[in-house]
């Protein structure tokens, strides 16, 4: 089966979406799927023996659509797997009409869309709006959405990474639930498979952390909305009472998000905040690590707990949570407006309100003081990872969706 994956992001672009699509393609190829990838015009684009990668798209706009369609016609895939978030396509609506256009071009083609984010388009330039209206008339105005075009209407299947995304999409297209399949992301990092004791020792040595220090890990790309400011303020509160506590921030900045919000110096902003709070000496910044190494996994093996204080709360699509759970770390995170069923407070996760440093500090202190709670959360996290974040199960279900009639 030949599958063409379309994604605006791909390594070495530094974003969770780029890492996710790369790992997904690797696993699909290892399962015998013939994988071709069309992505943005990325210098030194990542490659893999199991897939063919074509960095063709100079920008994702109406002017570039003929280039994309010519390639699809030459490739002749049985399935197109479109990875979609408005943010990664610079909020341009061209790609939101792609399922309709592809099916007009190749009637037997199956189009599956991975919804990776639910951002709104926002304001568009006049010419873009005019062309968009023309495509609405061409594609049929019924059930065309401003933010999603005809993706929700005309994709044969939609894979969501979170049930919360399914809820949001239903506000744009009432019947979307009939098409949606929930497949959360599995760990997108190579896992360090050394015995836990050895990995823990090596990870702490690499970070310069003493055996008797309590090490908190934050894992993930650094960007607004991750709750890092709340975490630093909570650490400031804890440090007033506890001497032997450290924090490691595993990961570099998310270049896609920081470009969108025009905050290129965001990491420096964070570092300045730690100095203002007097906790700069408590924090270890790992920066970027090689995508194909298990370095990040080794750091997580050395940690005592993971704290992920998302401003909007935790959801199944948060790949940083997936990674922490797969390592069996006790996890403190935040409760959003919608709590998905797999998250069980005090069993596999410790939930607290977002943007409340005092509540976060209290939750972390409870972990430090209660070893039995850490063990309970660790066991629960591993069980959750086995049930929800398995690559074997994710690939099996994805291939089944590709092969549906």
> What class has domain 2-185+391-403?
alpha beta
Beta strands in 7-145 (DSSP E): 34-40, 51-57, 79-84, 110-115
Give the span between the Cα atoms of 113 and 159, in whole angstroms. Answer: 6
Looking at the predicted structure, is the pLDDT value of residue 375 above 80?
Answer: yes
CA distance 380 to 236: 29
Quick check: 129 pLDDT over 70?
no
- Average pLDDT, integer, range 261-265: 84
| Model confidence at 359: pLDDT above 60 | yes
Alpha helix (H) residue ranges in 195-318: 196-207, 228-239, 255-260, 266-277, 295-301
Q: How far apart are CA 344 and CA 364, in angstroms?
A: 17
More confident residue, 169 or 292: 169
Out of 3.40.50.2000, 3.40.50.10260, 1.10.599.10, 2.30.30.90, the CATH code matching 196-388 is 3.40.50.2000
Element at 249 (helix H, strand E): strand 245-250
Give the tokens for residue 307. Answer: 């704290």
Question: Is 244 exposed, middle or buried, given 0-12, 13-18 or 19+ CB atoms closer than 10 A?
Answer: exposed
Residue whose pair of structure tokens reads 């400011």 in the numeric block: 229
DSSP 8-state symbol, 93: G
The residue count of the chain comes to 405
Looking at residue 290, its pLDDT comes to: 76
Quote the crossing angle between the two packed helices 65-75 and 98-105, to the nearest 10°: 50
Residue 105 has pLDDT above 80, yes or no: yes
Query: What pLDDT sits at residue 137?
Result: 59
Strand-pairing partners, residue 379, are none
* Helix (H) / strand (E) containing 111: strand 110-115
Query: Strand pairing of 110-115 and 157-160?
Result: parallel
Least confident span in 62-71, 138-147, 302-311, 362-371: 138-147
Fold matches, 2-185+391-403 and 196-388: yes
- d(CA 333, CA 227) in angstroms, rounded, equals 10
Q: Is 153 exposed, middle or buried (0-12, 13-18, 19+ CB in 10 A)?
A: buried
| pLDDT surpassing 70 at residue 94 | yes
Q: What is the DSSP string of 163-212?
A: HHHHHHHHTT-TTGGGTEEE-PPPP-SPPP-S-HHHHHHHHHHHHT--TT
Give the residue, 174 or 5, on which the prediction is more confident: 5
How far is CA 387 from its chain centroid? Answer: 19
Q: What is the mean pLDDT of the chain?
A: 92
Model pLDDT, residue 195: 74
pLDDT at 134: 57
Please give the residue that has the higher pLDDT: either 110 or 87.
Answer: 110
Check residue 122 and give its pLDDT: 55
Ramachandran region of residue 308, left (φ > 0), alpha (ψ -120 to 50) or beta? beta
Rounded CA separation 60/82 (Å): 13
Interatomic CA distance for residues 378 and 329, integer angstroms: 5
Q: Can you give the residue ranges of every domain in the chain?
A: 2-185+391-403, 196-388
> Quick one: average pLDDT of 87-98?
89
CA–CA dist 377, 390 (Å, integer): 19
Lowest mean pLDDT among 16-30, 142-156, 171-185, 362-376: 142-156
């Amino acid at each position: 089966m030949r599958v063409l994956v379309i994604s605006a992001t791909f390594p070495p672009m530094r974003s969770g979406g780029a890492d996710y699509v790369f790992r997904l393609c690797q696993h699909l190829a290892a399962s015998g799927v013939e994988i071709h990838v069309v992505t943005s015009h990325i210098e030194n684009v990542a490659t893999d023996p199991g897939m063919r990668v074509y960095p063709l798209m100079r920008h994702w706009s109406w002017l570039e659509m003929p280039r994309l369609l010519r390639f699809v016609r030459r490739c002749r895939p049985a399935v197109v797997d479109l990875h979609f978030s408005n943010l990664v396509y610079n909020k341009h609506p061209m790609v939101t009409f792609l399922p309709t256009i592809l099916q007009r071009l190749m009637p037997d083609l199956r189009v599956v869309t991975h919804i990776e984010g639910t951002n709104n388009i926002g304001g568009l330039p006049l010419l873009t709006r005019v062309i968009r209206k023309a495509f609405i008339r061409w594609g049929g105005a019924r059930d065309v959405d401003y933010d999603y075009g005809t993706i929700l209407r005309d994709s044969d299947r939609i894979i969501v990474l979170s049930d919360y995304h399914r809820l949001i999409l239903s506000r744009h297209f009432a019947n979307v639930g009939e098409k949606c399949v929930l497949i959360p992301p599995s760990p997108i990092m190579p896992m360090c498979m050394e015995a836990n004791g050895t990995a823990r020792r090596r990870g702490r040595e690499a970070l310069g952390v003493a055996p008797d220090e309590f090490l908190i890990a934050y894992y993930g790309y650094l960007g607004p909305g991750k709750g890092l400011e709340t975490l630093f303020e909570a650490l400031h509160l804890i440090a007033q009472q506890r001497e032997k506590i450290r924090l490691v921030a595993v990961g570099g900045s998310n270049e896609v998000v920081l470009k969108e919000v025009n905050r290129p110096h965001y990491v420096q902003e964070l570092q300045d905040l730690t100095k203002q709070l007097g906790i700069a000496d408590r924090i270890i910044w790992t920066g970027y690590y090689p995508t194909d190494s298990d370095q990040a996994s080794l750091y997580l093996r050395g940690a005592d707990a993971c704290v992920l204080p998302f401003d909007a709360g935790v959801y199944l699509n948060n790949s940083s949570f997936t990674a922490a759970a797969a390592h069996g770390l006790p996890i403190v995170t935040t409760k959003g407006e919608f709590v998905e069923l797999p998250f069980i407070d005090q069993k596999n996760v410790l939930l607290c309100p977002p943007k409340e440093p005092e509540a976060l500090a209290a939750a972390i202190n409870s972990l430090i003081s209660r070893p039995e709670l850490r063990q309970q959360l660790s066991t629960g996290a591993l069980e959750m990872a086995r049930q929800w974040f398995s690559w074997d199960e994710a690939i099996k279900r994805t291939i089944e969706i590709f092969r549906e009639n």
